[in-house]
Amino acid sequence: MEKHVVVIYPHPDDESFGAAGTIAKFREEGVPVTYLCGTLGEMGRNMGSPTFANRETLPEIRKRELIKACEVLDIKLEMLGYRDKTIEFENRMQIAKHIKDYLEQIKPSLVITHYPDYAVHPDHNALGAAAIEAVRLMDSENRPTVWAQAISKDFPEVLGEPDIVNDITANFDKKFEAILAHESQAMGVLGQQRKRNPEIDSIKEAAKLNLGMERFYIWRYEE
């Protein structure tokens, strides 16, 4: 059993869309989970459907949604304070050290983050790389396992079969509840999912088809 799991993603809602089923399973087993959330998604373009947010109110709204989603998932939240869309321009080593400070304090057995270069959004790629670097900076005997999540369409061809394939349909209700906590974002993103499966009427069923599997690669550190 894992001792403590730390999830490291840049945006409020990455945890819900990307790993909520896996997180829910760990919580069922009694494993503590902490989410290190990089930004407040300040530059998101989804403003609610119908719109209720604007560029200036969005950060506080997304912060409240993030707190709510973490309550739904029953996980601890730490906000890293970076700004949406800018992580790749920051000093990577500085971010890695920032993350390492958290990891040394929390002492997780597992870290979940994005797979650099295969995670589509520049913030995903940059924070994933920094998180992987943070673990690399730790003494090898204290290093947690790292699960890296790829999103790009070509990742299975390039990277091969993921090491961890979690069918999370049993926990999908929890995942969907966490996604819906991100009220300003949920429908915009779920609408996209639905467009890819126009034959399916129910938004939840369409979401289950696309988000019912959570896949990760175990990051291999070379000594």
Residues binding other proteins (CB under 8 A): 43, 45-51, 54-57, 59, 83, 85, 120-123, 151-153, 188, 191-192, 195-196
Q: 138 vs 209, which CB is nearer to other proteins?
A: 209
Sign for the pseudo-dihedral over CA of 118, 178, 172, 21: positive
Least distance from other proteins to the Cβ atom of residue 41, Å? 11
Least distance from other proteins to the Cβ atom of residue 180, Å? 17
Q: CA 2, CA 33: separation in Å to the nearest integer?
A: 10
Least distance from other proteins to the Cβ atom of residue 94, Å? 18
Q: 120 vs 138, which CB is nearer to other proteins?
A: 120
Residues 69/182, Cβ–Cβ less than 8 Å = yes
Q: 55 vs 107, which CB is nearer to other proteins?
A: 55
Least distance from other proteins to the Cβ atom of residue 170, Å? 28
Q: CA 203, CA 24: separation in Å to the nearest integer?
A: 21
The phi and psi torsions of 34 (rounded to 5 degrees) equal -120, 135
**Quick one: CA torsion of 145, 102, 186, 193, rounded to 10 degrees?**
-20
Least distance from other proteins to the Cβ atom of residue 45, Å? 4
Residues 116/133, Cβ–Cβ less than 8 Å = no
Q: 5 vs 19, which CB is nearer to other proteins?
A: 19
Q: 59 vs 144, which CB is nearer to other proteins?
A: 59
